[in-house]
Amino acid sequence: QPCATLAELAALRRRVDVPIAADESIRRAEDPRRVAVAGAADIAVLKVAPLGGVRRALAVAEACGLPVVVSSALETSVGLAAGLALAAALPELPYACGLATMTLLDGDVTSDPLLPIDGFLAVRSVTPDLRDAVAADEETCRRWYERISAVTGQPFGPARSA
């Protein structure tokens, strides 16, 4: 988003004929409403994690009074799946979403990454075996356990028997 503050965003919106989307101004559940009341944007950009999950983000979308776009930070397929679930649950989605960020990462934590095909992500069916179907392989798990252990300085991962 082009402005650091909500007041600057509202002032910019009054000066231009281009629709303005509020992204960084929306990090908590009450933020989209503040954006709408301030007249600071035409579109609210929602991200699932900062808003507290899919249900809370859906409630925010319904209450904010603005058209919404669902976006993500640089997330693995786990986070992207949450954004995709939100986008699929919205009754109206007039603009393209920003969920195709998996290609910007070196790898994923799942064995079946959410990658765009012809610019679209497919909404996957939720089945009892979904977790097993996309579970990371042993090498990916080992790599992440080592990385988290190195960052935290604490052992991380499944207990190993001696």
So where are the chain's domains? 6-124, 125-156
Mean pLDDT, residues 47-51: 92
Q: Provide the pLDDT confidence category of residue 102 given band limits of 50, 70 and 90.
A: confident
* pTM score: 0.79
Element (H, E) at 70: strand 68-71
Q: How would CATH label the architecture of 6-124?
A: Alpha-Beta Barrel (3.20)
- What are the backbone angles phi and psi of residue 45, rounded to the nearest 5°? -95, 120
Mean pLDDT of the chain: 88
Q: What is the pLDDT of residues 111-161, one digit of tens each?
A: 888 888 898 888 877 777 777 777 888 888 898 899 899 999 999 988 654
Instruction: Give CA–CA dist 132/110, Å, rounded.
Output: 10
21: its two tokens? 């989307």
56: its two tokens? 């809370």
Q: How far is CA 63 from CA 36, 37, 76, in A?
A: 10, 12, 28
